[in-house]
Structure 1
């Protein structure tokens, strides 16, 4: 009996009981192509869909910031326990790494981030954040629910493939470099390939978007304290005005991109923080500014960092001020360029094409956003993609980091099925083919 008929029969008779793929190691291309389709059908079943929705809403109501995801981590471990999935904990304080399969090579990883953002939710609904000043405004609650959904699917098939699927629940993606710490603590040893996803309101439900090569920019943060001499605003000649100096610094920083960078080499310098003074008639002693810088190459990123420090210190001195610049790499590590492996891109197109149809695969342009999944793809062949959730019949869905951000929960089955399909097809093709998708790993570290 073919794969699709087995799945259909078991769905009707047993619901969540084991859904055998095939005990025969010689699956045909047609049978392999049917796996993603049947996984998506399975993920859309009310039992699994409602369970994922419940998980996502529980996490959404109780958001936790980077390296503080203790309750989220506890929920994940409890669900893995109920599924009978073994795991290791903790990594990077709150991270969890589970495993499904034989426990032996090959190893393929699928990853979800867990942390929320320090912002107040403005969406009024039944499951609004219960924690003042904290919100899941980037979809990480949905990412966890999807990966747990994939775990449930894969656990049902654990006897049907050789190798191991590694489930990576990672803390502190939002600027904390959680992926870097996971690697440093050995969470991804011996992994052959890793996949990650992110929900997106830019693409329609049922579509995915990605590209081969550079996808997201390298990113860093800077902060500068510009010190002068405060005094009464009516007698500025007796002061050294740090506000004026900081204003000149900010204008000069913009010239780094407009006059020093190659127009074909995308770069960004943004000052988003300006703090100084507390009265209308008093010039302060100092001003603090801060911001972010982005680039798509290692060389451009290093050059930007050097020039930011030079511009701030020298422009401040022109205004008779002193300046100290910090990049605080320990707390906010520089994020490398996210580069998608070329071979895994072809593999991704094949699997998602089987599930969704090739017309639902969007070749996107690179974005200046950053994602610490890049730490994984520096040392392991990796692939990161976006999964659409836009549905105009459900109103407007704001993009990430907005207090009005919402999740279209119809996206959950797509994410779970894609995670599971990418992992299991990878292992099956490793088993069946002489030249499986290994990845064309070639990039260096930032």
Structure 2
């Protein structure tokens, strides 16, 4: 154990350099061409069997894709910033998922680790106290920032890949490293799960920097409280007319969209557990003297379990359709993202805690925390559990400069090598189960 922690600590300068490079070059969901190309190159160099592009996800299951113009510009930018053009081409259409597989000679269990890669649609702050600005690694891209720590997650994943390649003799079975696009908006996991990549997995591990674990040198061994969620977009199409001369000839999509917003927030909450609904975007109309013929709302539902969330979705669809009918406009409702609820395996959490305490690598080991939000790692975890495997989600403790998704977000990079060491310990322990 001590050797692994020493090796991981010696890797810290390399981890910091990579994290800062990723922070400087953030890529939003389904446009992670540079990041994914880097991952492919690293995994191939370390001897992993690498699956990417159409081999790593099912196109029909991809949710919330940007339009082709956005994707093409992102591909060109990635190549201009050093990405391998041939690899980027294989990811055309936003197919930026990557899986690295290492099969060991010694029989054992199949253990998978999931890493998310995308950034947020956030313009990074320019305050004097913002460390990425002072350190020269502030985002180079407009309205794109690693404001949730996924730059750290990719760094940890690649650090783990290197450690496992260096410790093959201690491993058994099969290790799978899953680098997932489009976690923000919970859009990316479903398409990767649909390939069957985790159907044979015995143990599945995910994790996150910070979030509720905001104390340095700490580890949360098990995270629960994953709310099921669905992200919906509803577009409204009416008929425009002159607002002064012939308002009676129009069909008002703005009013239909606005009425939907009010109706959605009036949905009864569920008595069997937590339920949530929120309209985050309302756009409508074309001009002040034109009766509005177009409208759009972007919203989400959440539930303590999948059934509660499905109740909220069903009611949301009903409210939207009724509001559209009331104003005699058409509506199209599309799913832009989603994730199921996930049940925490407390027995597995206790095992992780015992292992973490035995390593002596953390000042504080916490057995459990509630997430209180949604994360599409739950797709992987749920599938593994359905197939008879076990799954856990950890949190790597670190101080944060501002809350997640805040323009001044930053974290203490000392958590990087500790996470790498702990995940290496898990890989060794659980492939040999």
TM-score bracket relative to the smaller structure: 0.7 to 0.9
Map residues 61-80 of structure 1 onto 2, 5 A cutoff.
61-80=24-43
Q: 1:163 aligns with which of 161, 173, 183?
A: 173
Show the counterpart of 1:253.
264
- Structure 2 matches for 1:34-433, cutoff 5 A? 35=1, 38-45=3-10, 48-90=11-53, 91-92=56-57, 93-94=95-96, 95-99=98-102, 101-102=104-105, 104-123=107-126, 124-125=133-134, 126-175=136-185, 177-202=187-212, 203-209=214-220, 211=222, 214-231=224-241, 238=248, 240-256=251-267, 259-262=268-271, 265-318=273-326, 320-328=327-335, 332-354=336-358, 355-356=360-361, 359-361=364-366, 363-367=368-372, 369-380=373-384, 381-390=390-399, 397-428=401-432, 430=433
Contact 1:338 1:373 (8 Å CA) reproduced: no
Deviation at 1:251, TM superposition (A): 1.9
- Deviations, residues 77-99 of structure 1 (Å, cap 9, x unaligned): 33234434443444133313232
Superposed CA offset, 1:337-382 (max 9, x none): 1332233222222222334569431532341x22111111122121
Find the aligned partners of 2:367 and 2:289 in 1 and give their Cα distance: 55
User: C-alpha separation between the residues in 1 aligned to 2:259 and 2:422?
Assistant: 49
Distance 1:131 1:140 in 2: 16
Cα distance, 1:118 vs structure 2: 3.2
Partners of 2:44 and 2:122 in 1: CA distance: 32
Deviations 1:9-49 (A, max 9, x none): xxxxxxxxxxxxxxxxxxxxxxxxxx2x553343222xx00
Change (3 A) 1:109 1:260: closer
Distance 1:226 1:206, change over 3 A: same
Alpha-carbon distance between aligned partners in 2 of 1:269 and 1:311, rounded to the nearest angstrom:
12
What do you get for the CA RMSD once the two structures are aligned? 2.7
Following superposition, the deviation at residue 242 of structure 1 comes to 3.7
Equivalenced residues, count = 378
Q: Which runs of 5+ in 1 are unaligned?
A: 1-34, 391-395, 431-446
Structure-2 change in CA distance of 1:241 and 1:71 (3 Å): closer
CA distance in 1, matches of 2:40, 2:251: 57
Distance in 2 separating the partners of 1:140 and 1:133: 16
* Partner Cα separation in structure 2 for residue 99 and residue 252 of structure 1: 51
SS of the counterpart of 2:398? strand
Structure 1 residues 269, 54: closer, same or farther in 2, change over 3 A? same
> Counterparts of 1:169 and 1:225 in 2: how far apart (Å)?
32
| TM-superposed deviation, 1:308 | 0.5
- Give the number of the structure whose alpha-carbon radius of gyration is greater: 1
Measured in 1, the distance between the counterparts of 2:110 and 2:363 equals 27
Q: Which moved more, 1:225-234 or 1:264-273?
A: 225-234
Tell whether the 8 Å contact from 1:216 to 1:338 is kept in structure 2 after alignment.
yes
Q: CA deviation at 1:217?
A: 1.0
Displacement after TM superposition at 1:423 (Å): 1.3
In 2 relative to 1, CA 120–300 (structure 1 residues): closer, same or farther, beyond 3 Å?
same
Aligned-partner SS, 1:255: coil
CA–CA separation in structure 1 for the residues paired with 2:199 and 2:341: 21
Give the alignment's TM-score, normalised by structure 2: 0.79
Q: 2:316 & 2:5 partners in 1: Cα distance?
A: 48
Per the alignment, residue 70 of structure 2 pairs with none
Would the aligned equivalents of 2:48 and 2:100 in 1 still touch at CA under 8 Å?
Answer: no
TM-fit CA distance, 1:235:
7.5
